[in-house]
Amino acid sequence: MTASPSFWVVIPAAGVGARMNADRPKQYLPLGGRTLIEHTLDCFLDHPGLRGLVVSLSATDGYWPTLACAADTRIQRAAGGAERADSVLAGLERLSTLGAAPEDWVLVHDAARPNLARADLSRLLASLVDDPVGGLLAVPVRDTLKKAGPDGRVTATPDRSLFWQAYTPQMFRLGMLHDALKRGLAAGIAITDEASAIEWAGHAPRLIEGRADNIKVTRPEDLDWLASLLR
């Protein structure tokens, strides 16, 4: 059996989460007596393969310094950018200053995705350790999909067996991901996640099926569901 590799982590956390209609960025919303981002960090901090973790934060972030984890020496900061890709790129460059090599694995994970199962993390690492590209956790689409026209009416019903919902972590070599992000941003392409940058660069990331409850908190009902799960 191939051993799981050592790895680095980047958590882009400079967004504001406008769809939550909250009084603070969603990563700092309370969940079970702690913030979302604290739960998210716990998914990685006690893993024996972790070599270092960088959180990319807004320059005006006043919430992070109030958290106990801000003093954790295993966590380093990077300057977040206007878009997710900018924040991830800054995180990768910070990892390089910490000793990460271009061929090292980097896992990028959403700050507001606090329910990553250890089994899913282990499966991702073990499945991709020898992969030439890397990949991401994902879930096959379960429901019927509809393609809509500009008038809001259905124009087609695609074959759902061809579609997956992209989750995180997304796992790629530092050098390959840095190059894809930097060139993609310079070219002005829409980078929705790390895999999309890798795809634009001409590679095909591998999909690793994970649990559907590894949800990203986007709307208030997502937080309510996670709170009920903790209870």
Per-residue pLDDT tens for 5-61?
Answer: 899 999 999 987 666 778 899 999 999 999 999 999 999 999 999 999 999 999 999
How far is residue 57 from each of residues 62, 164, 172, measured CA to CA in Å?
Answer: 10, 29, 21
Q: Give mean pLDDT, residues 135-141.
A: 98
Q: How many CA atoms lie within 13 A of 37 on its CB side?
A: 28
What's the CA gap between 218 and 29, in Å, rounded?
12
- What percent of the chain stands above pLDDT 90? 92
pLDDT at residue 4 is higher than 80:
no
Query: Do 112 and 26 touch, CB atoms closer than 8 A?
Result: yes
Indicate the range of 14-28, 165-179, 184-198 predicted with least confidence.
Answer: 14-28
| Start-end of H helices in 76-216 | 84-97, 118-128, 174-187, 194-200
Task: Output the six-digit token pair for 92.
Answer: 């990768």
Strand partners, 173: 105
Categorize the per-residue pLDDT at 231 as very low, low, confident or very high, splitting at 50, 70 and 90: confident
Q: Which pLDDT score, from 0 to 100, does residue 1 have?
A: 46
For 56-73, write each residue's pLDDT tens digit. Answer: 999 999 999 999 999 999
The secondary structure of residue 45, as a DSSP letter, is H
Q: In terms of CATH architecture, what is 7-230?
A: Alpha-Beta Complex (3.90)
Report whether 128 contacts 121 (CB < 8 A): no
What is the chain's mean pLDDT, rounded? 95
Query: Domain ranges in the chain?
Result: 7-230
Q: How far is Cα 201 from Cα 223, in angstroms, rounded to an integer?
A: 35
Whole-model pTM over 0.85: yes
The amino acid sitting at 34 is: R
CA angle 192, 163, 126 (to 5 degrees): 75
